[in-house]
Amino acid sequence: MIKVGIMGASGYGGGELLRWLQLHPEAEVLAATSKTYAGQPVSHAFGGLVPLPLVFAEDDIGAVQGCDVVFLAGGDSASMCLAEPLLEAGCKVIDLGASFRFTSASEYEQWYGEPHRSPHLKGVYGLPELHRTEITDAKLIGNPGCYATAALLALAPCVKGGLVKNDSIVIDGISGVSGAGRSKFGLDYHFAEMNENAWAYRIAGTHRHTGEIEQELSSLASAAIRVSFTPHIVPMTRGVLVTCYATLAAAMTTQDVLQIYQGFYNHEFFIHVSEALPRTKHTCGSNMCNIGLGVDERTNRVTVLAALDNLGKGMAGQAIQNMNIMIGLDETTGLKAVPLWP
């Protein structure tokens, strides 16, 4: 049985991790820490976890040092300080924040506007469909962002296969409110502001996930890639849908590109490629990513869409998928739950 700890478990992604892990046949949560809820049942933070007989521990590294795997859900500043002592204690570490997603500390500092406190630590970017071999031997994982996961899965076959012009990529993304985390109490997140409303934010290359997307696409292309990414928030609880546009390098049909995508993801359990266009509801509560596409032969441009649950494949589900690979389990273990419908 894998001994698991979660630090900062009352934060963004913590409740979803606990929900998934209680269904995992090979994992046991030994400790979940929280500054806010220490000494209280986890159901005080997450009402849906009433059946889970677990009490939050003090947010101290000693609570999880005996674990095989520790998830860091307390935010970037905390992760930078906690990762090294946990690694020294023999734990495998999966960070749900951005601290270890980048290949260099300077890239993190560029996008997040603060010094990296552990620049000597190098994590593996935890997108299994692109980095499965590196994840197998990794001790430290930087779990990808939700927008980045959807955009990269949507674009990887095109970019790696040289199907598109690298300077033509445009990405539109929409996310549900839970993508902002539980700590956002500003006016924009009041019911009266969110209901019957939608808006773009962090436009013109300022959203932090842009850095991850460009890093990974550039690696796939073996050339520097810059993208135009615009995120939007819409009045739904959970889900991400990205719509990606690019100019094809040569004339192709929808069926041509679809066959390439189906071949690329042929052995990927969590990726579903079809002629039907994806919807966020079709991935809700799961670790799935659904992909659909079409080619506009008039403009020689391809449009690729990807939908996933920002708390599933975009966060906690993917983190557990990474854990399974690191430990040597079948990566689908504990993650085969079908999406919630309706």
Question: For the sheet containing 27-32, what is the strand order?
Answer: 27-32, 2-7, 69-72, 92-95, 140-142, 124-125
Which of 76-80, 204-208, 320-324 shows the lowest mean pLDDT across its residues?
A: 76-80
Just list the catalytic residues.
Answer: 146
Answer whether 216's CB lies under 8 Å from 131's CB.
Answer: no
Query: What pLDDT, on a 0 to 100 scale, did the predictor assign at position 181?
Result: 64
pLDDT exceeds 80 at position 158: yes
> Quick one: average pLDDT of 225-238?
94
- Nearest alpha carbon to residue 8 among 118, 85, 88, 97: 97
pLDDT exceeds 80 at position 85: yes
Predicted confidence band of residue 251 (pLDDT cuts 50, 70, 90):
very high
Handedness of CA 339, 208, 102, 183 (dihedral sign): negative
- Nearest alpha carbon to residue 326 among 203, 101, 143, 158: 143
Q: How many CB atoms are located within 10 Å of the residue 178 CB?
A: 21
Residue burial 158-175, b: 16+ Cβ < 10 Å; e: rest:
bbbbebbebeebebbbbb
Predicted confidence band of residue 72 (pLDDT cuts 50, 70, 90):
very high
Set out the domains of the chain in order of their start, with CATH numbers: 2-122 (3.40.50.720), 147-310 (3.30.360.10)
Query: What pLDDT, on a 0 to 100 scale, did the predictor assign at position 174?
Result: 96
- Nearest alpha carbon to residue 181 among 43, 20, 315: 315
Entry pTM: 0.95
Quick: pLDDT tens for 258-316: 999 999 999 999 999 998 999 999 999 999 999 999 999 999 999 999 999 999 999 99
Query: What pLDDT, on a 0 to 100 scale, did the predictor assign at position 321?
Result: 98
Query: What pLDDT, on a 0 to 100 scale, did the predictor assign at position 51?
Result: 85
> Quick one: average pLDDT of 234-244?
94
pLDDT exceeds 60 at position 127: yes
Rounded Cα gap, residues 332 and 342, in angstroms: 23
Average pLDDT, the chain: 93
Q: How many CB atoms are located within 10 Å of the residue 105 CB?
A: 19
Token look-up 């601290």 returns: 99
